[in-house]
Structure 1
Amino acid sequence: MARKVGLIGLGLMGSALAQRLIGAGLDVLGFDLDRSKCDELEKKGGRTAASVADVGHSCDVVLIAVLTVDQVEQVVEGENGLAGAERPPTVLCTATCDPERIASLASRCASRGMVFLDTPVSGSSGQVAKGEGLGLVAGDRDEAARCADVIEAIYPRHVYVGPAGDASRAKLAINLALGLNRAALAESLVFAERIGLDPAAFLAIAKQSAAYSQIMDVKGAKMIEGDFAPQGRIVQSRKDFGLILSEAGRVGQRLPMAEILMGLLEGCIENGEGDWDNSAVIQEVRRRHAR
């Protein structure tokens, strides 16, 4: 029989993870508060449960793909959460979260005899669905090895980072670079267009230059074509940069470029673009006319 794997959260990333798991021949039992997302999972060949508790009682490994650490804690420790199962499952948290709270949650789980692995991924939902994301794995190394089939299914490319919390720390530092790269590309494209260059032709040139970054491949065409169908939403980037700036503040470090990008993201949200793809940061750059 196929190994049964639980999946809590069936949004953009959860849907990509489900696609990977089902493609690997695993039996996926999912749950989301949005019934339409459960229906989509069933169309892909997965099954859905009536609650988080049902997933916890039925699966020995459960992936969490929600948005915030508050939601992660609720899924694990809340009423009818995973920790309440007769035999609590091993949890793989794929969400981008506050590292300190993730480390603390992992410690609380361990005190209950429950395994919690910190396993976010670097890559958009589209990249993850294609197996192109980089999984960051932290927590007990032996327990991670016991979940190797699940980790390899969702993250063909993955690295072990260290104790729980370190994968979340690495993810925030990576997201800082990615977010700044997106903003730099957006600004470069707007500048090229304003000074009379064809943006598509300029992008093709830039990809051959020393300025090249993978962001040009992933987000360049979306920025130029105004295709803001979400692979990673503006509100998610805003949440991540809130975590980045909070963590930087905790250690007494200013991040001046991150502070500027936070303003761009908030400008997008104020203009009703929060649920658009994070490449929509170009919209806010375009709005910043000289006075």
Structure 2
Amino acid sequence: MKVAFLGLGVMGFPMAGHLKKAGHDVTVYNRTAAKSAKWVETHKGGSAATPREAAQGAEIVFACVGNDDDLRSVVNGPDGAFAGMAKGTLFVDHTTASAEVARELAAAGAKLGLGFVDAPVSGGQAGAENGKLGVMCGGARKDFDRAKPVIDAYARACVLLGPVGSGQLTKMVNQICIAGLVQGLAEAMNFAVKAGLDTGKVVEVISKGAAQSWQMENRASTMVEGKFDFGFAVDWMRKDLAICLDEAKRNGARLPVTALVDQFYAQVQQRGGNRWDTSSLMDLVARP
């Protein structure tokens, strides 16, 4: 299939690569042209100077950018993807953004005869590189059915949750879960250190029981070592949690723990940890 991929960050770069490895004809676009050139050198696909040019002739256009405004910038306007897409083609958005912008762009696309699926992902950079992402989708069944076989190139699970916006709402659920998990893990690991326990052995045994989590298996050891210069940045987590908290105001959900952890991340930012991994909550409890 001829496809386009807009956005070549730590997630988009390998995701687009998996599409090329799966045999698709891939054209990429990135605001920083050097990233596009590096992707072409690595994967032997094509690149374009604008989202519109990348989208021309594509059956599906994928995007994975930073936030709502970044998404609008690659979709709308004379150089945006929608301007280059033909009627009957499909836009799939992997950005973690608001449900509101998903509905907004889906409505704009519908007026042009375009399909739209919001499809945020979970699994981090490692999941993207290994082709094992969880993909949460919102949209019409016919659009999802067209997109899924292509998305499967980098997905461990790809599920339709409901109409447009449902994928973004599900990603919010994901981030709410992670916020509480990471804070709990940080407190637990700091407690183990203060108690004089061998943290490696502690994790070895408790990770086989009810306390097990991805965060524990992948972040506990680096937390104890005070290593945070990798992974999913605190800046991005705060962006995501702001989306969660804003949506909660609309739907009436109470998120007391999420709001508290968001403020803890604000304190990490004040320490200069904007680009630290989200597991850097450990720094607050270890160095109060």
Measured against the shorter chain, the TM-score band is over 0.9
Q: Which residue does 1:208 correspond to in 2?
A: 208
1:60 aligned partner, one-letter code: E
Q: Is the 8 A contact 2:58 2:85 kept in 1?
A: no
Between the aligned partners of 2:137 and 2:259, the Cα distance in structure 1 is 28
Aligned residue pair count: 286
Residue 22 of structure 1, aligned match among 20, 23, 32 = 20
Between the aligned partners of 2:175 and 2:109, the Cα distance in structure 1 is 27
1:84 Cα offset (Å):
1.1
Taking a change above 3 Å as real, the CA distance of residues 39 and 222 of structure 1, as seen in their structure-2 partners, is: farther
Q: Is the 8 A contact 1:193 1:199 kept in 2?
A: yes
Give the secondary-structure state (helix, strand or coil) at the position aligned to 2:17: helix
Between the aligned partners of 1:222 and 1:128, the Cα distance in structure 2 is 21
TM-score by length of 1: 0.91
Q: Is the 8 A contact 1:77 1:83 kept in 2?
A: yes
Taking a change above 3 Å as real, the CA distance of residues 64 and 188 of structure 1, as seen in their structure-2 partners, is: same
Q: Which residue does 2:53 correspond to in 1?
A: 54
Stretch deviating more after TM superposition (112-121 or 71-80) = 71-80
Between the aligned partners of 1:35 and 1:186, the Cα distance in structure 2 is 39
Q: Which residue does 2:184 correspond to in 1?
A: 184
Deviation sequence 1:172-214 (CA, Å, 0-9, x none)? 0111101211121111111111222232232222212321112
Q: Which residue does 2:80 correspond to in 1?
A: 81
1:10 Cα offset (Å):
0.6
Deviation sequence 1:223-276 (CA, Å, 0-9, x none)? 233443433211111101001111111223331111111011111212221112
Structure 1: gaps of 5 or more residues? none
1:113 Cα offset (Å):
0.9
Q: Is the 8 A contact 2:3 2:55 kept in 1?
A: no
Q: Which residue does 1:7 correspond to in 2?
A: 5
Q: Is the 8 A contact 2:50 2:80 kept in 1?
A: no
Taking a change above 3 Å as real, the CA distance of residues 96 and 90 of structure 1, as seen in their structure-2 partners, is: same
Deviation sequence 1:30-75 (CA, Å, 0-9, x none)? 1111233223312321332111121121422111100101111221
Between the aligned partners of 2:104 and 2:34, the Cα distance in structure 1 is 33
Deviation sequence 1:124-159 (CA, Å, 0-9, x none)? 121132232211122111122222331211224211
Taking a change above 3 Å as real, the CA distance of residues 106 and 276 of structure 1, as seen in their structure-2 partners, is: same
Between the aligned partners of 1:198 and 1:228, the Cα distance in structure 2 is 21
Q: Which residue does 2:173 correspond to in 1?
A: 173
1:83 Cα offset (Å):
1.5
Give the secondary-structure state (helix, strand or coil) at the position aligned to 2:183: helix
Q: Is the 8 A contact 1:131 1:157 kept in 2?
A: no
1:218 Cα offset (Å):
2.5
Q: Is the 8 A contact 2:5 2:26 kept in 1?
A: yes
Q: Is the 8 A contact 1:92 1:119 kept in 2?
A: yes
Q: Which residue does 2:38 correspond to in 1?
A: 40
Alignment of 1:1-291 (within 5 A): 3-45=1-43, 46-85=45-84, 87=86, 89-288=89-288
1:269 aligned partner, one-letter code: Q
Q: Is the 8 A contact 1:7 1:31 kept in 2?
A: yes
Q: Calculate the aligned-residue CA RMSD, in Å.
A: 1.8
Q: Is the 8 A contact 1:119 1:137 kept in 2?
A: yes
1:103 aligned partner, one-letter code: R
Structure 2: gaps of 5 or more residues? none
Stretch deviating more after TM superposition (128-137 or 232-241) = 128-137
Q: Is the 8 A contact 1:121 1:136 kept in 2?
A: yes
Between the aligned partners of 1:97 and 1:268, the Cα distance in structure 2 is 23
Taking a change above 3 Å as real, the CA distance of residues 224 and 18 of structure 1, as seen in their structure-2 partners, is: farther
Taking a change above 3 Å as real, the CA distance of residues 175 and 193 of structure 1, as seen in their structure-2 partners, is: same
